[in-house]
Amino acid sequence: MTMREKIEEAAARYPDQRSAIMPALLIAQEEHGHLPGPVLEEVADILGVERIWVYELATFYTLFHTEPVGMFHLQLCDNVSCMLCGAEDLLNHLETVLGIRKGDTTPDGLFTLSTVECLGACEMAPVMQVGDHYHANLDVARINALLDRLRATVGAPSVEHAAARLPGE
């Protein structure tokens, strides 16, 4: 089934095509990996809605990506509760061990590091979302263990070995 057919099938469930924008964006992102401008335009054209409506939703919600992201998208909450519980230190640690800055993707394409405004889990701060999963009550040890588990799923070296190869060291 083509992307157009999938979107048309999903849109048929909604009385107003604007209500189908989010499901259509999910379908398009699954198909393309991210949502560049031409894909957003195609979604708008398929649904027969204003392009700005599609663009607004695609850029508002953190589950949509207008740029390519790594296999594992690390989204660290940087709202007040998480920051008070150490999220800034965790962000610095992640940047160090991954060898990238916030907003970047590792050269091997495994990790993209982002911050998000709020994940709605303040009682478990600091919190990071990886894909569809939340990781809570984080500290450096838990971050390292998580990165090792993620790397192991694709046979990549552990944090300790990866950190030993950081550029400039």
Label residue 13 left, alpha or beta by phi (over 0 means left) and psi (-120 to 50 means alpha).
alpha
The verdict on whether residue 82 carries a ligand-binding annotation is yes
CA separation for the pair 27, 74 (Å, rounded): 21
The torsion angles phi and psi of 95, rounded to 5 degrees, stand at -60, -40
The verdict on whether residue 85 carries a ligand-binding annotation is no
What's the distance, CA 132 to chain centroid?
9
| 56-94 as b/e: b if 16+ CB within 10 A | ebbeeeeebbeeebbbbbbbbbbbebbbebebeebbebb
CA separation for the pair 143, 151 (Å, rounded): 12
Q: By C-alpha distance, which of 76, 85, 54, 53 is closest to 135? A: 76
Binding site, annotated residues: 77, 82, 118, 122
Binding-site positions for [2Fe-2S] cluster: 77, 82, 118, 122
